[in-house]
Amino acid sequence: MSDGKIVSIHSFRGGTGKSNTTANLAAQVALTGKRVGVVDTDIQSPGIHVLFGLDEQKMGRTLNDFLHGAASIREVGFSIGENPGEGQGRAQLKGSQLFLFPSSIKGGEISKILKEGIDFNVLNEGLQTAISEFDLDYLFIDTHPGLNEETLLSIATSDVLIVILRPDTQDLQGTAVTVDIARSLDVPNLLLLVNKALPKHDPQAIKAEIESKFDAPVTSVLPLSFDMAENASRDLFSLCYPDHEWSKALKNVVPFILNAK
């Protein structure tokens, strides 16, 4: 087996910024010259394709096809380096080794897979094949919020798990459970990432407080930003606005990924 690493991005509650963070991190890592894949395992409500400019028309084979045995992983991988599409941020990905493995956005396909369930071995084989066939250094997984079965599957296979949380009580409570699960599943690198921090919160204080509560490193504290909200997932924010506070804080996460054992 190849030694590419699986990096899952997860949050206990929805809307924490998983998809935006995953897409931006994957892009940043790809821009360091690494070969990177991004899999959308949020089968119920896929979203990350939007950040890479894919719509129903552009989307070819999907992870769903693979899970049904109707397509090979090679057919599912969509080269962003060859098709960066419109958008000033994404355009910078031209020529990079970045591949998206999207989840179908067709209602019928979604309900079909939810009915049938996902076989751990098939999904795992898909991930491993993606790594070996595309010779990936990193395979990022964008997950569905909560701890449902497909999410547990991706946590179970990951080498690095990044749990995103907002600094509020409910997220902290849910994150506590996620952290316990990740430890129970022996995830080798458990990282935390705070998103949507308010200006009134001192990033250092948040970091210290959360690290002491969970005994896991907080890789960065990303500010809640109106500019991010306005970007509304239209493009890769950290490529469009590299000097923005959010982008700078996001880039702090990259070395944690590159140095994970």
Partner 1 sequence: MIGSVLEKIHNAVFFQELSNDALEAVAAKATLRRFADGDVMMRKGDPADSFYLILEGHLKIVTTDARGEEIIINKVGPGETIGELALVDERPRSAGAVALEDVEALEMTKDAFFNLLDQRLDVALGILRGFSHRLRFSTTYIEKVIDWSQKTAEGDYSFLEQTQPITNRPGTDDDKAAQLLSTFYSMVRKVKAREEGLKQQVEKLAFEIDQERRKKEFEEITGTEFYARLKEQAQTIRRKRQGS
Ligand X SMILES: Nc1ncnc2c1ncn2[C@@H]1O[C@H](COP(=O)(O)OP(=O)(O)OP(=O)(O)O)[C@@H](O)[C@H]1O
Residues that bind partner 1 (CB under 8 A): 1, 3, 120-121, 124, 147, 149, 152-153, 156-157, 167-169, 172-173, 176-177, 180-181, 184-186, 196, 198-201, 209, 213, 223-226, 229-230, 232
Binders of Mg ion among 56-95, rule CB under 5 A?
none
Residue placing its CB nearer to partner 1 in the complex, 32 or 88: 88
Helix (H, G, I), strand (E, B) or coil at 182: helix
Q: Could you please report the per-residue DSSP string of 236-247?
A: -HHHH-TTSHHH
Contact between 47 and Mg ion (CB under 5 A)? yes
Query: By C-alpha distance, which of 23, 24, 85, 37 is closest to 249?
Result: 24
Contact between 203 and ligand X (CB under 6 A)? no
Tokens of 190: 């458990």
Using CA atoms, how far apart are residues 85 and 132, in angstroms rounded to an integer? 26
- Spell out the alpha helix ranges (H) of 107-168: 107-116, 120-133, 149-157
Binders of ligand X among 158-187, rule CB under 6 A?
none
Using CA atoms, how far apart are residues 143 and 140, in angstroms rounded to an integer? 10
Using CA atoms, how far apart are residues 223 and 172, in angstroms rounded to an integer? 17
Contact between 145 and Mg ion (CB under 5 A)? no
Contact between 224 and ligand X (CB under 6 A)? yes
Contact between 21 and Mg ion (CB under 5 A)? no
| Residue 98-127 contact track with ligand X, rule CB under 6 A, x = bound | ------------------------------
Using CA atoms, how far apart are residues 9 and 21, in angstroms rounded to an integer? 8
Interacting residue ranges for ligand X, rule: CB under 6 A: 11, 14-20, 42, 47, 145, 195-196, 222, 224-225, 228-229, 231-233, 246
